[in-house]
């Protein structure tokens, strides 16, 4: 028998979390290459620890960009807000081990005779959407992101200087019959100033928690846990080493949907780990926005060097209003799912990636310059019309 009520939890981490510092640096390097050459190839990995950043990976693009990497790193760290003894944008050591891309990989993914690039690697990618929130995202992860974004906005504007860059949130919601109906627990841990006591930290953070939830939702005070381990002054890479790509569930759906395993940050759009996950989200979101399902999970599978996906799978989790096999066929006909087709559909060869490095790659408003273009719902009406016309004809 299907479970009718349950608790579900998702977490988020801020831009100052050590792993997210690495994601930001890797995507900043990617943006710099794409700004100089939209067809640059980048696979950039970053490690951080106490007052140190190491970068490694392969690129194909202007040599002039490689010469600016140190400046790019320092600017990214400065923007995040790190100017503390153990991690300071002015004084940190930077080791740059980026090198030219392997000719073997390049041969497999470069444009072929039919004007299509092959996928940059094999792999499976998932996209998901549901109607729990206006953004068509699962409510726990969306709320966990919102808490930290509100805190970061006030910290960086100077409105709340007592908060530090490193923070984490966790939201547990109550579900009944597949819908979120209330809040069970909220956990927030945040870095803070040396002279700020725990009671003050709680009073600072509480308003952000209450603001993050929709109107009418109450959070039980005895189920709010703020800095439960106590003092949190030393944070960021000084407190814990960071690596690119270690927060893939934070980046996507908070565990509410599967993840193919590949990270996003530091990878150009020929890497289907990133671009195919974006197009899968785009398709799933348009299915839900078009009223064809309340929830939609899409899986795409690729082989290295091959342009077309080897498989497309659609699962509307019992909420679909149309046949799933037919929906998969229509989606594949509507959007070209080759790396080049994805790039053109979503406008991915632009310097739009540093902004994705924290607070989720999905559930964000599309930007005028093409950022978060995978969040558009511009084919939802066409999908609804197609299936509406098919239903009309059947009747």
Confirm whether residue 332 is marked as ligand binding.
no
Structure confidence at residue 363 as a pLDDT band (50, 70, 90): very high
Confirm whether residue 259 is marked as ligand binding.
no
pLDDT tens digits for range 109-137:
565 545 678 887 789 999 999 999 999 99
Active site residue 110: no
pLDDT higher than threshold 50 for residue 393: no
Confirm whether residue 155 is marked as ligand binding.
no
Confirm whether residue 52 is marked as ligand binding.
no
pLDDT higher than threshold 50 for residue 25: yes
Q: Give the active site residue among 8, 11, 15, 20.
A: 20
Task: Give me the count of residues in the chain.
Answer: 395
Active site residue 315: no
pLDDT higher than threshold 60 for residue 324: yes
**CATH of region 123-131+269-394:** 3.30.300.10
Q: Give the active site residue among 145, 271, 343, 386.
A: 271
Structure confidence at residue 311 as a pLDDT band (50, 70, 90): very high
Active site residue 17: yes
User: Which pLDDT score, from 0 to 100, does residue 117 have?
Assistant: 81
pLDDT tens digits for range 227-253:
998 889 999 999 999 999 999 999 999
Mean pLDDT throughout 151-180? 97
Confirm whether residue 350 is marked as ligand binding.
no
Q: Are 118 and 276 in contact (CB under 8 A)?
A: no
pLDDT higher than threshold 50 for residue 278: yes
List the beta bridge partners of residue 315.
297
Range(s) for CATH 3.30.300.10 in the chain?
5-12+138-235, 123-131+269-394
Q: Give the active site residue among 58, 116, 184, 323.
A: 58
Active site residue 375: no
Pairwise CA distance, residues 395 & 388, whole Å: 11
Q: Give the active site residue among 24, 168, 376, 386.
A: 168
Active site residue 39: no
Active site residue 241: yes
Longest dimension (CA), the chain: 71
Confirm whether residue 33 is marked as ligand binding.
no
Active site residue 246: yes
Q: Give the active site residue among 39, 174, 210, 246.
A: 246
User: Which pLDDT score, from 0 to 100, does residue 394 have?
Assistant: 40
User: Which pLDDT score, from 0 to 100, does residue 30 have?
Assistant: 98
Confirm whether residue 159 is marked as ligand binding.
no
Confirm whether residue 36 is marked as ligand binding.
no
Q: Which long-range contacts (CB under 8 A, 24 or more apart) does 75-81 make?
A: 75/28, 76/21, 76/24, 76/25, 76/28, 76/354, 77/21, 77/25, 77/53, 80/15, 80/16, 80/21, 80/24, 80/165, 81/16, 81/155, 81/156, 81/164, 81/165
Nearest to 344 by CA among 296, 307, 289: 307
Active site residue 45: yes
User: Which pLDDT score, from 0 to 100, does residue 113 have?
Assistant: 47
Average pLDDT of the chain to the nearest whole number: 93
Active site residue 232: yes
Confirm whether residue 17 is marked as ligand binding.
yes
Residue 368 C-beta-side C-alpha neighbours within 13 Å: 0
Confirm whether residue 26 is marked as ligand binding.
no
Active site residue 195: no
Q: Are 53 and 95 in contact (CB under 8 A)?
A: yes
Q: Give me the torsion for CA of 144, 146, 151, 156, rounded to 10°.
A: 130
Structure confidence at residue 270 as a pLDDT band (50, 70, 90): confident
Fold for the domain defined by 5-12+138-235: GMP Synthetase; Chain A, domain 3 (3.30.300)
Q: Name which residue leads in pLDDT, 184 or 104.
A: 184
User: Which pLDDT score, from 0 to 100, does residue 4 have?
Assistant: 87
Instruction: Quote the tokens at residue 134.
Output: 């206006």
Burial of 63 (0-12, 13-18, 19+ CB in 10 A): exposed
Active site residue 58: yes
Structure confidence at residue 215 as a pLDDT band (50, 70, 90): confident
Active site residue 264: no
User: Which pLDDT score, from 0 to 100, does residue 2 have?
Assistant: 61
Q: Give the active site residue among 56, 185, 241, 380.
A: 241
User: Which pLDDT score, from 0 to 100, does residue 130 have?
Assistant: 98
Mean pLDDT throughout 74-78? 98
């Amino acid at each position: 028998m299907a479970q009718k009520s349950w608790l579900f939890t998702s977490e988020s981490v801020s831009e100052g979390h050590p792993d997210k510092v690495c994601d930001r640096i890797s995507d900043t390097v990617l943006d710099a290459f794409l700004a100089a050459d939209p067809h640059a190839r980048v696979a950039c990995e970053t490690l951080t620890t106490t007052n140190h950043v190491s970068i490694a990976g392969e690129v194909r693009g202007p040599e002039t960009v490689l010469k600016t990497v140190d400046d790019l790193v320092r600017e990214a760290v400065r923007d995040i807000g790190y100017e503390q003894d153990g991690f300071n944008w002015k004084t940190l050591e930077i080791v740059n081990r980026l090198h030219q891309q392997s000719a073997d990989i390049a041969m497999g993914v470069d444009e072929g005779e039919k004007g299509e690039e092959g996928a940059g690697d094999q792999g499976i990618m998932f996209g998901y959407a549901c109607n729990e929130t206006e953004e068509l995202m699962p409510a726990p992860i969306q709320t966990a992101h919102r808490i930290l974004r509100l805190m970061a906005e006030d910290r960086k504007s100077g409105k709340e200087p007592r908060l530090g860059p490193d923070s984490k949130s966790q939201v547990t919601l109550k579900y009944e019959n597949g819908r979120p109906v209330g809040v069970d627990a909220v956990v927030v841990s945040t870095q803070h100033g040396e002279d700020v006591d725990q009671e003050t930290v709680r009073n600072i953070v509480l308003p952000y928690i209450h603001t993050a939830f929709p109107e009418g939702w109450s959070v039980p005070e005895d189920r709010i846990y703020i800095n439960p381990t106590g003092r949190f002054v030393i944070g960021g890479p000084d407190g814990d080493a960071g690596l690119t790509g270690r927060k893939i569930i934070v980046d996507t759906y908070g565990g509410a949907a599967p993840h193919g395993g590949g990270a996003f940050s530091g990878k150009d759009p020929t890497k289907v780990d990133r671009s195919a996950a974006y197009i899968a989200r785009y398709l799933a979101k348009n299915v839900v926005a078009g009223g064809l399902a309340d929830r939609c999970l899409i899986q795409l599978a690729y082989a290295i060097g091959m342009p077309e996906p080897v498989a497309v799978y659609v699962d509307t989790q019992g909420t679909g209003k149309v046949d799933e096999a037919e929906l998969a066929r229509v989606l594949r006909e509507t959007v070209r799912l080759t790396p080049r087709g994805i790039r053109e559909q979503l406008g991915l060869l632009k310097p739009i990636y540093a902004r994705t490095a924290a607070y989720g790659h999905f559930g964000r408003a599309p930007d005028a310059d093409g950022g978060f273009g995978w969040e558009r719902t511009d084919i939802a009406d066409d999908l609804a019309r197609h299936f509406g016309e098919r239903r009309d004809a059947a009747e």
